[in-house]
Amino acid sequence: MPMRYETIAKFKSKRGGEVYFVKRKMKTGEFSCNCPGWIYSRHCKHIDYVKENPLIEIIDIPAYQEACQMAWGKDKQAKEQWIMEHLKEIEI
């Protein structure tokens, strides 16, 4: 099944240490989040933050050998997983 979204940002909760991801649907550009605010009310501060600060920060750049093994052109899930793991956590 093709990937229909991309991860845009990673947020760390100040209270419980949970990690929330803001994702964007590839086709429509709509945002979603896995935080309780978005799940229950379809509004959250994480999406508001991303809309106001559209810059994504990656904390790491893959080494040449790692990048060769990723085969991102063929495996979109591997790319998504790598991005989720290497996004800089934002605290708001």
What are the sequence ranges of the domains in the chain?
Answer: 5-90
| Mean pLDDT over the full length of the chain | 80
Sheet containing strand 31-33, strands side by side = 31-33, 19-25, 5-12, 89-90
- pTM, full prediction: 0.69
**Most distant CA pair in the chain: distance in Å?**
43
Tens digit of each residue's pLDDT (9 = 90 or more) over 32-60:
999 999 999 999 999 998 888 876 666 66
CA distance 7 to 15: 23
Tens digit of each residue's pLDDT (9 = 90 or more) over 3-19:
588 888 889 888 878 89
> Between residues 66 and 18, which one has the greater pLDDT?
18
- Is a pLDDT exceeding 70 seen at residue 29? yes
Predicted local distance difference test score (pLDDT) of residue 43: 93
